[in-house]
Structure formats: C-alpha cells, structure tokens
Amino acid sequence: MAMMEPSMVTRKDSGVDFIVLGGGIAGMRAAIELAKGGRVLVLTKDDLYESSTEYAQGGIAAALSEDDEVTLHLHDTLIAGDGLCREEAVRVLVEEGPQQIHQLIDWGMHFDQNGTKLAFTREGAHSRSRILHAHGDSTGSEILRALMAKARTISSIQLQPHTFATDLMVENGRVCGVHYLDDKTSSSRYIPAGAVLLATGGLGHVYKETTNPSVACGDGMAMGYRAGALLSDMEFVQFHPTALFVKGAPRFLLSEALRGEGAQLRNLLLERFMPRYHEAAELAPRDVVARAIIMEIQRTRAEFVYLDLTAMDPEHVKKRFPRIFATCMKYNIDITADLVPIRPAAHYSMGGVATDLQGATSLPGLFAAGEVASTGVHGANRLASNSLLEGLVFGARSATAMLKKHVPLPFPSPKPNPRAECTATATPQPTDPQKAVDEARSILWQKVAIIRDGKNLSEAVKRLGEFALPDTSTPSRQTLEARNILTVAPLIARCALAREESRGAHYRSDFPLKKESKHPQHSYISKNSLPFFE
C-alpha cells in the first residue's frame, strides 16, 4: 500500500463505502446518488460551502426553452471547443442536462422566472437564450443550497469540513482510500474506502491573478498525478475576459451575462473594440475576447480596459446582478453609471484527470467529476455556463458507475520516461513555501498565460522544474497547498510547450494556426511520462 511518511500517519479511521473529495456541485450531486449504495463520506478542506460552485454567477446552460433544442446546444459547445471536444461526451451533457435540472427543481432549487416560466438569458457563443440563473447572479450558491439541503436529509451521507485530503491510498494498482489532514486538530489520518471520487475543483490559484476562491489550488489533479493517474489537456486554461481590476482587491469575476444583456467593452480611449476582432463582438468565445482585451491593453499601453453598462437600464442591472453591483460599490464603482476597469484572469481548467464517460480514471477505484476531471466536454475552450451542468451530469454519472464497480475503458499507455518527473530533488528545500508559490504563480502569469510562445514556455518549464517540493513531514495547509501548486504548475507549462499549434484557449504566437493535417489530438501526461498526444 502506498503510504505517506510514517510521521504523518497517526491514526486509521474505520472505512466507508465511498469517499467524495469536494463539496461543490459535482461532489454533492454524486454523494446523493452514492447514498443509494452505502455509507458516503464527503471531505472538504475548508467550510462546506467554500467552492467555485458557491461563487458561480452566470448560470447553468440547458436546452429547456421553447425555441431551443439539444442539437443546438451540442453544436454551440462543439464550436466553442475548437475541434477538441469529444462529441460523445458533449452529447451526454446536453441530452442528460435537462433531466438533471428538473431533478434539482424537484429537490427545491429556485431558478429565476418570468411569471410562471423559467427565465433564460444568453451568454457568449450561445445561439439561444438557454442560461438559467437564480437570485440574479447567485446561481451557484442557490444550487449548492438545494443540494446540501437534500444531502442533509440522507443519513448515510456524512459531511466533514476542514479536512484536507493529502494523498490517495493505492494498493496493487487500485485506489482504496485517502490520507487526510484534520485541519482543526492538525492530526494526520487515513481512511479506507471502496471507491474515491475526486471532485476538488480547479487550479486557478496556480496563477498570480484568478477569479477562483482560494481553495482552488489544483489539489485533486496533484493527488491523481502523484498516485499515477493519467492527466489530459492541462495546457488548456480559460481566462475569464472580465475580472474587476482594482489594485489591492481580489480579481472579482464580472459575469459573462453582463455582456449577454448588452454591456460593451471599451479601451482606454473609450473606443468599442470587439467588432474589430470578431463578428459576434462582445459575445465572441471567451478565448477570443480575452486575447482581444490583452491586445488592446498592449496597443494602448494601459493596464486595463473598461466594461460599459451605462446604456443599460440601471434598475434592471441592480435587480439582475445584485451581487456584482454590491461588490463593485465596495470599491466605489457604480456599474450603472461608471465605466468598470477590467482585465482577464485565470478562471477555469478544461484539462484535468483523464476520465471516460462514466468518470472512471486510469486508476481502478478512482473517479473524477467536475473541473478536476478532463471528460472532453469542453475541448479547447469551455462554452459559458456549461461547467455547472458538467458537474451535475457527470457527478451523477460517476456515482452510478461507482455503485456498479465500473471498470474503466482502456486509456492511452505512455512510454515510461525517467526524465519526466517534474520535481527537482537535488535542489535545496525552499525555506519559505509561500515565497516559492508566489514565484511560480508569477512565472505562469508572465509566460504561460493568454498569449504564449516557445521561448517563454521553455523558460517557464526550466524555472518551474528547479523548485523542490516543500517538506510535508509536519503537514500544514500552507505546505500541502504549496506542494500541490508546485506539482501542477510545471504540468501546464510542459503540456503548453509540447502543443505546437494555437487552438481555443491555448494561443501560441510562434504557432498561430491550428494543425489541420490530422484529427485534433488530446495531450496526456503522467508522473512516468513526458507529454504525448493521442
């Protein structure tokens, strides 16, 4: 059995049937389904509600309106994914999405309505108004409330916050439990389980600037990588075009729905610039909008551009986007009257732990759902508001497969390469893990962000490879998060260097075109292999 350092293993807990790591939409939807087959333990490293789901503003996409069809949702998703979506995964998403939405409503979810009908809005790259929202711009929070309320009615689900899962237990090639740190008692423990679901969310805090909550450190991807799981498409990181830019303030996300309802982008000269970059203007795919903003920032030698809502009805804006309005007012910005300074920030990882359509990974006993997983749904560029839907659909599918003791489909088999390990064990241990993390974040932000090139990527790979992982023999949340960030950061850089083309969110100025000569390929990487494509 793969164990942690002896000093970290202090106590073994009694086993459970299923462990779910993460309490966002994917984890909670899975836990409710898993409860049909046994005892479920949900571990979250912070408060129960602290996840990207809680802060999701824009909404959840589903073909439920009278003028919409699942085939249109399928088409829009495939177009946004820039040729790299797995069509069978997208088909699962759009076909099973509506029934999952109805299930949520049955459990007490309250979506906004126009009279007696559901209210829909439109976001970038959607051909129809299919985005459901709740309390204006608090959709994720309301979904999580409904799921938590349902879970609390099920006695076989145990919710355990402030419990940092540190590593997967692996015996004879099968995942059979987790090691974790109890944050409240600072004690290290491990617990066996019949199967484990990674639902730990994303990796935004690998970057210097991000819209993600502080818990998004790539924990699940790092755990999967250390255990030997295959990761896929790590180079595809989506940067949200419109994050509030106020010096000294967090990069608060300004929802895509603002542009969907009429907000415009202007440069420092107050020129509306998006029509020059794409026929859909502000409603172009996110990668296009993010690159356009960066180009305008460089062209005008500015630090930001403006989001302009001043032509919109002020009362509608306040009612539709109450959370955004209130947050901006904290910084003395009235979004109904003032131009709002914005620039892109790291937002979402399309890549992650590779899974099949049932959430099974390359390691038996290990499943993944939500942002931590790479299902192929999002391809090279996620379509707005598909992420909550993915968590809902694939959280449920993963749980169903776990109940059936599903055997994963064959995954690509990388050729072993002893040079592939990204840790540089010969270098001294950093005296300050936070300092190492800050430097790594800056490297990614400067060299592996929205516009990339081979020279900068090569330098990033070299510099990130020089970091030693922090000593975790006396674990703390800071050192454990640092270990995960310093594990995941080089994977992004190495996969980005290996992909010599521009596709979706991965744009290389030295390879500005897509490789059209053959079918688009997904990247893969593991601790025993360099990046490869298949």
Given this model, what pLDDT does residue 494 score? 98
Give dist(CA 512, CA 531) in Å, integer: 20
| Per-residue model confidence as pLDDT tens digits over 116-164 | 999 998 887 899 999 999 998 899 999 999 999 999 999 999 999 999 9
- In the sheet where 305-308 sits, what is the strand order? 237-244, 340-349, 305-308, 264-266
Q: Please tell me whether residues 215 and 355 are part of one structural domain.
A: yes
Helix pair angle (477-498, 219-227), 10° resolution: 80
For residue 215, the Cα-to-chain-centroid distance in whole angstroms is 11
Q: Please tell me whether residues 51 and 133 are part of one structural domain.
A: yes
Pairing of strands 40-43, 157-160: parallel
Given this model, what pLDDT does residue 286 score? 85
Domain harbouring 131, CATH code: 3.50.50.60
pTM: 0.92
- 3-state SS, one letter per residue, for 329-393: HHCCCCCCCCCEEEEEEEEEECCEEECCCCCECCCCCEEECHHHEECCCCCCCCCCCCHHHHHHH
| Per-residue model confidence as pLDDT tens digits over 259-275 | 989 999 999 999 999 99
Q: Please tell me whether residues 292 and 355 are part of one structural domain.
A: no
Structure tokens at 248: 């000294």
Given this model, what pLDDT does residue 183 score? 78
Q: Which has the minimum average pLDDT: 109-123, 192-206, 490-504?
A: 109-123
Within a domain: 64: yes
Q: Please tell me whether residues 167 and 227 are part of one structural domain.
A: yes
25 SS3 class:
helix
**In the predicted structure, residue 483 carries a pLDDT above the cut 60:** yes
Q: Which residues pair with 237 in a beta bridge?
A: 349
Instruction: Encode 433-450: b = buried (16+ Cβ within 10 Å), e = exposed.
Output: beebbebbbebbbebbbb
Please tell me the total count of domains within the chain: 3
Given this model, what pLDDT does residue 65 score? 93
- pLDDT mean across residues, the chain: 92
Count of other CB atoms within 10 angstroms of residue 310:
16
Assign 518 a pLDDT band (cuts: 50, 70, 90): confident
Q: Which has the minimum average pLDDT: 203-212, 339-348, 420-429?
A: 420-429
Give dist(CA 314, CA 400) in Å, integer: 46
49 SS3 class:
coil
Domain harbouring 316, CATH code: 3.90.700.10
Catalytic one of 91, 122, 286, 499: 286
Given this model, what pLDDT does residue 460 score? 98
Domain that holds residue 437: 417-533
Within a domain: 408: no
| Per-residue model confidence as pLDDT tens digits over 163-184 | 999 999 999 999 999 999 987 7
Give dist(CA 494, CA 458) in Å, integer: 8
**C-alpha dist (Å) from residue 5 to 10, 188, 343, 475:** 10, 10, 43, 10
Q: What is the DSSP string of 412-456?
A: --PPP-TT-----TTSPPPS-HHHHHHHHHHHHHHHSSSSB-HHH
Q: Which residues pair with 191 in a beta bridge?
A: 178
Domain harbouring 504, CATH code: 1.20.58.100
Within a domain: 58: yes
Pairing of strands 117-118, 113-114: antiparallel
**In the predicted structure, residue 369 carries a pLDDT above the cut 80:** yes
Domain C-terminal end among 403, 429, 444: 403
Domain C-terminal end among 346, 370, 393: 346
Q: Please tell me whether residues 87 and 189 are part of one structural domain.
A: yes
**C-alpha dist (Å) from residue 351 to 96, 273, 403:** 22, 30, 25
Q: Please tell me whether residues 139 and 165 are part of one structural domain.
A: yes
Cβ(376)–Cβ(394) under 8 Å? no
Give dist(CA 530, CA 522) in Å, integer: 14
286 is catalytic: yes
Percent of the chain topping pLDDT 90: 82
